[in-house]
Structure 1
Amino acid sequence: MTVRFLKPEDLDAVYAIFCYYIEHSVANFSWTCPDYEEFCAKQLAMAKSYPYLVAEYEGKIIGFGYAHKFLARDAYQYDAELTIYFAQGNHYGLTHVLYEKLEAILKEMGICRLISCTTATNQESLAYQAKHGFEEFGLLKNAGFKHDAFHDVAWLVKVINPTTTPWRKTFAEVRKNFETNVD
């Protein structure tokens, strides 16, 4: 069992997991899978600026998680939005490991708040996030229409660094500290 940084050769598996949620759930509000080449380019670009991890079991990618800018304006640089997806089935305890590694890296980067946007009917995910210290700060009613229905979206937040004296490091500055710790 391994949680490690994304490699380009992982993208086929990541894409398959991502598309499963698009096609079979309301966890992702896209209606169709993105173009594969565009998807890969976007994931690799995100992996340059924020941590992007994969969970591997017996040589197979079973999940992935990443952080990205919460909003585009400079003032939001202390917030990061988290995204985590796992294939259907046994997660072998890697969900917890993947989340903890993401949080540790983001904390060292100086991120103050982790933000999560979760479909409100996804009670399993909401319970998982509450267990890890996230608190709901908003509910957007009827936020998205998918599979013939409107769905509410819960916004959650977890403070991981104090906001009294903010500081930031780039992902490149802290990644080397996690190279051996993540693999």
Structure 2
Amino acid sequence: MNHDVRLRPATSADAAACAGIYRPYVEDTAVSFETEAPTGADMAGRIGASIRWFVAVDGQGRVIGYAYASRHRDRAAYRFACDVSVYVGPGNAGRGVGRALYAALLADLERRGYRMACAGIALPNPASVGLHTAVGFRPVGTYERIGWKHGAWHDVLWMQRALGGDGPPVDEPA
């Protein structure tokens, strides 16, 4: 990753920039199964509701990518698992930004007591599968023909990565 890029926790002030990064994924690809891009206000709500949200900022102070974690499921036994996602803005893919964001996010989740990170990847998406594999995720299953977008059915590959040890948790996740 370029040395003039820094990572930090997101704030609501980053919401419009994050929405701008996400918009092309929603409107132009099947990477996201949303069909309408969220507004900055919508994204601010998501930042506030997330377990953790990090942004990558370039040397000019522009947000060029983000990664976040959210609850995996509502039932209590799932409380040590989370879903994670990463999005990088145009012109910044392949520069290590996504990998750096995930390194910060996954380390933070592990410190907080989470034990499993899960990622759903709409297929085909070799770049995302490659990134997740590179940071330690492994495939655990595929939902076939689960999402209809842009006139076609899409599969979702589920990958997961262990955080922390295999023993019982010491504390509740923070």
TM exceeding 0.5: yes
Q: Which residue of 1 is the match for residue 27 of structure 2?
A: 23
Which residue does 1:178 correspond to in 2? none
Conserved? CA contact 1:3–1:94, under 8 Å:
no
**Which of the numbers 16, 32, 38 marks the counterpart of 2:36?**
32
Distance of 2:98 and 2:11 partners within structure 1: 19
* Contact 2:102–2:135 (8 Å) recurs in 1: no
1:121 pairs, out of 95, 116, 124, with 124
State the alpha-carbon separation in 1 of the partners of residues 143 and 173 from structure 2: 32
Aligned with residue 106 of structure 1, among 109, 113, 117 = 109
Aligned with 2:101: secondary structure?
Answer: helix
Conserved 8 A contact 2:138-2:160: yes
Mapped partners of 1:63, 1:124: distance in 2: 15
Q: Does 1:57 align with 2:61?
A: no
State the partner residue of 1:73: 75
> Is the 1:78–1:168 contact (alpha carbons within 8 Å) kept by the matching residues of 2?
no
Residue pair 2:103, 2:135 contacting (<8 A) in 1 also: no
The CA deviation string for residues 92-117 of structure 1, in whole angstroms up to 9 with x for no partner, is 43222111111111111111111000
Q: What is the root-mean-square deviation in Å for CA atoms of aligned residues?
A: 1.5
User: Quick one: which amino acid aligns to residue 160 of structure 2?
Assistant: V
Instruction: Give the TM-score normalised by the residue count of structure 1.
Output: 0.86
Match of 2:99 in 1: 96
Matched, 1:144 2:147: yes
Counterpart in 1 of 2:135?
132
What code does the residue aligned with 1:158 have? R
Displacement of 1:36 in angstroms is 4.1
Q: Percent identity?
A: 26
**Any idea what the Cα deviations from partners look like across 1:36-81, whole Å, max 9, x if unmatched?**
43332232222xxx22100011211000010011001111011111
3-state SS of the aligned residue for 1:33?
coil
Q: 2:12 matched to 1:8?
A: yes
Find 1:157's aligned residue among 142, 156, 160: 160
Distance of 1:122 and 1:95 partners within structure 2: 14
TM-score, scaled to structure 2? 0.90
Q: Is the 8 A contact 1:107 1:161 kept in 2?
A: yes
Gaps of 5+ in 1: 172-183
| Higher helix proportion | 1
